[in-house]
Amino acid sequence: MSAFLFANLNPDIILDAIESQGIFPSSGLLALNSYENRVYQFQADDGLRYVVKFYRPERWTNQQIEEEHQFSLSMAEVDVPVVAPLVIQGQSLFEYQGWRFAIFPSVGGRSFEVDNLDQLERVGQYLGRMHQKVGSTLFEHRLSINTEEMLDQPLSLLRDWLPEGLAVPFFTVAEQVAEAAKAAYQPQSIIRLHGDCHPSNILWRDGPMLVDLDDARNGPAVQDLWMMLAGDDNERRLQLEVLLEGYEAFCDFDSRELALIEPLRAMRMIHYMGWLARRWQDAAFQRAFPWFNSQRYWEEQILALKEQLAALQQAPLSLIPGY
């Protein structure tokens, strides 16, 4: 099945797949924001709301998806707030007519406010609890964060995408960023991570609720922390202090990992460009990212990479003196 045949995933198949697990929708299907997979919210005849997630073909193996599910279920068992999949007759990953899917409870919530220091400390507490309680058992089938996947492969793919006249300036700076990131990305230890822990993947109810573990990986602990930091150096230092105050109530943090923040940011930037190029045949991507692959887009990426190269050449973010 082609990775770009989500158009064949029609409402009849979706409803039949859900009903195959003994859950009977009583409402229409509301498509939720998701580009990598297809995700729909619905209400069932039991009065509860659910979310069904259909996985993109050819991306993850069944073992990799099941590891993600087991990770989130393990988090729930130790009181880390996470949206974990339903387990029905001992299974959390299902298949219907070749489509793999999972069903989750639907939870509401407000946006997590990164500039709210009280909320930030609470998030730090739960991330520390997650890393301490379930982080040490590494994924067996999911990849660890690595420079080949995050840097080499995207840059190789992008060689066919740059418009004439911008290829040389783009790859000149991109290759410098990649080499600097490779040299600096030397994690001392790795654990099991959420992997994509940015503010949009945290809902706020009475406290934080972690969602979307689709990119769960092994990697350094700081990967689940650095995307919470925003603003200038002083703002980020304050945010880091508050985040770690909550985190270290449960789990020690190795301050040497702060030197990994800018390499990880560089890896994310280049991987994101490659991700858009790799998925561009999917019509959903063309609708959601119409600016991709324009002359202006690549000019902006050249500028962003130059700024990132400068960041890689500076001293890493440090904790507030006296922390």
Select which of 115, 118, 160, 196 is catalytic.
196
Q: Would residue 214 show up in a list of annotated catalytic residues for this protein?
A: no
Select which of 115, 212, 214, 233 is catalytic.
212
CA dist., res. 15 & res. 302, Å (int): 45
Beta bridge partners of 218: 144, 192
First-residue to last-residue Cα distance in the chain? 53
> How far, in whole angstroms, is CA 272 from its chain's centroid?
11
201 is in an annotated binding site: yes
CA dist., res. 2 & res. 69, Å (int): 24
CB atoms within 10 A of CB 52: 25
- Of 125, 126, 317, nearest to 240 by C-alpha is 317
Contact status, residue 147 vs residue 182, Cβ threshold 8 Å: yes
212 is in an annotated binding site: yes
What is the maximum span of the chain, computed from C-alpha positions, in angstroms? 61
Q: Would residue 212 show up in a list of annotated catalytic residues for this protein?
A: yes
Q: Which residues are catalytic?
A: 196, 212
Known binding site for Mg(2+): residues? 201, 212
Known binding site: residues? 201, 212
